[in-house]
């Protein structure tokens, strides 16, 4: 099993069963990513150097990318970044299912982005069920927000601090709460 084959299965939303070749490869990649990212997080390199090392780790080319350490990735091989993205400290991204972040996206402290679910049946609880997350251009995600698998956040939207996003957010919306609900449009609040 090769990385591109595993990513194709993950992108298709195929269940990755515990003990399978795919499951084992995922675990090995996750460990490698966490080890490499730990070195970046703990290094004395400048923020610019750390951002370049992060992009090298995930194999991305994104102009103007910045992040504040520490940041955590669960996989690191299915994260897609637009230009001028900023990710604040203590953010956790579980990207097996695919995380697609557009241009000029701002992600606050302690944000969690998840792309995996598990079976309800305890006998299969360890199986991985991926669903991608899409964050369009010009989105701002407030501190402590949680973005759940399969969510699409539309262009220009704001997700309030502490919100739990379990459903799609339309473009230009302001969404807050647990679960997150649209409470207004961007033009209404300026």
Please write the tens of the pLDDT for every residue from 78-106.
Answer: 999 999 999 999 999 999 999 999 999 99
Please write the tens of the pLDDT for every residue from 14-23.
Answer: 999 999 999 9
Please write the tens of the pLDDT for every residue from 167-186.
Answer: 999 999 999 999 999 999 99
Closest CA relative to residue 159, chosen from 81, 105, 84 = 105
- Torsion angle defined by CA atoms of residues 170, 73, 112 and 44, in that order, rounded to the nearest 10 degrees: -110
Q: Name residue 79's beta-bridge partners.
A: 99
Q: At what angle do helices 21-42 and 3-11 cross, to 10 degrees?
A: 100
Q: 44 with 54: CB under 8 angstroms?
A: no
CATH fold of 3-189 reads UDP N-Acetylglucosamine Acyltransferase; domain 1 (2.160.10)
Find all residues with CB under 8 Å of 27, minimum gap 6, and list them.
none
Domain ranges, ordered by start, for the chain: 3-189
């Amino acid at each position: 099993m090769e990385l591109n084959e595993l990513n194709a299965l993950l992108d298709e939303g195929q269940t990755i069963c515990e003990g399978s070749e795919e499951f084992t490869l995922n675990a090995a990649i996750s460990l490698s990513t966490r080890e490499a990212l730990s070195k970046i997080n703990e290094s004395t390199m400048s923020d610019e150097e750390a951002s370049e090392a992060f992009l090298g780790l995930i194999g991305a080319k994104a102009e103007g990318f910045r992040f504040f350490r520490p940041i955590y990735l669960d996989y690191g091989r299915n994260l897609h970044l637009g230009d001028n993205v900023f990710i604040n400290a203590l953010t956790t991204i579980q990207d097996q299912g695919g995380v697609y972040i557009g241009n000029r996206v701002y992600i606050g402290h302690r944000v969690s982005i998840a792309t995996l679910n598990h079976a309800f049946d305890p006998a299969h609880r360890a199986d991985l069920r991926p669903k991608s997350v899409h964050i369009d251009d010009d989105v701002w995600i407030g501190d402590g927000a949680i973005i759940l698998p399969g969510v699409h956040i539309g262009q220009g939207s704001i997700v309030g601090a502490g919100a739990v996003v379990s459903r799609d957010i339309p473009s230009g919306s302001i969404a807050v709460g647990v679960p997150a609900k649209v409470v207004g449009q961007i033009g209404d609040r300026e």
